[in-house]
Amino acid sequence: MNTIAEALVALVALAAFLLFFYGPWQRTVEDLARQIIFERRAQLFALAQSGRLSFESDSYRMPRLMLNAYIRYAHDLSWPRLLFQKIFFSKKSKFSTQLVNAVNKIEDNNTALAVKLLLSESSLTLAYLIGLKSIFLFPIFTIMLLAKPYSVSVKAFIDREIKQGRSVTEKVSLTMQTSAAEEYEAELLAA
């Protein structure tokens, strides 16, 4: 009798977890990802508003279109869809080529870096979204988030680099971005 009760409790707990995971959790993660990308789009707008990018240029419009697409289709993203797309549509799209060209046309290296960081952080946000929405990837991404929090302020890093007028090369690896952002976060904590 005790075994049956334990099995029923386990079954109810599993059902409650699945209802939560495929219900409010999915929408919460999608909303959080969208909010982060909205903030990145606002930062892109601020770059243009400050005169560092022209609102009419492809260097502003193409990244904005990409961020808008991320926001609009965040609810459709899943690892099976991503895998299907990579397998059957593996060639580079015309839009992604235009996006890379538009960002590479930005003459000011600091502005180009800022736009690249905004786009890469948005892409990373979507990667986390995919991981946190998947029942299989959820434990892995949860451990990753707990081991190294995603909350490093890349915006603060961008602002510091621009304020100090540092010259940046065309290609900046994500590890360099992350370590510099971690250094800046450590400086903030020390201050």
SS3 168: coil
Domain assignment present for residue 93? The answer is yes
Domain assignment present for residue 16? The answer is no
SS3 92: coil
pLDDT score of 156: 53
Domain assignment present for residue 6? The answer is no
Length of the chain: 191
For every one of its 191 residues, what pLDDT tens digit does the chain have, with 9 covering 90 and above?
688 989 999 999 999 999 999 999 999 999 999 999 999 999 999 999 999 999 999 999 999 999 999 999 888 888 888 777 777 666 667 777 888 889 999 988 889 999 999 998 898 888 888 888 988 888 887 777 776 554 444 445 545 555 554 433 333 333 333 444 445 455 555 55
Domain that includes residue 115, residue range: 26-190
Q: Which two tokens stand for residue 65?
A: 């279109």
The rounded distance, in Å, linking the Cα atoms of 170 and 92 is: 21
Domain assignment present for residue 34? The answer is yes
Cβ atoms of 67 and 40 within 8 Å: the answer is yes
Taking CA 144 as the corner, what is the angle to CA 140 and CA 146, rounded to the nearest 5 degrees?
120
Domain assignment present for residue 10? The answer is no
User: How many domains is the chain built from?
Assistant: 1
Domain assignment present for residue 177? The answer is yes
pLDDT score of 90: 60
Instruction: Say which residues have a Cβ less than 8 Å from residue 114's Cβ, sequence separation at least 6.
Output: 43, 47, 52, 158, 162
Phi, psi of 57 (to 5 degrees): -80, 155
pLDDT score of 8: 93
Domain assignment present for residue 13? The answer is no
The rounded distance, in Å, linking the Cα atoms of 144 and 129 is: 13
Domain assignment present for residue 2? The answer is no
The closest of 157, 158, 167 to 47, measured between CA atoms, is 158
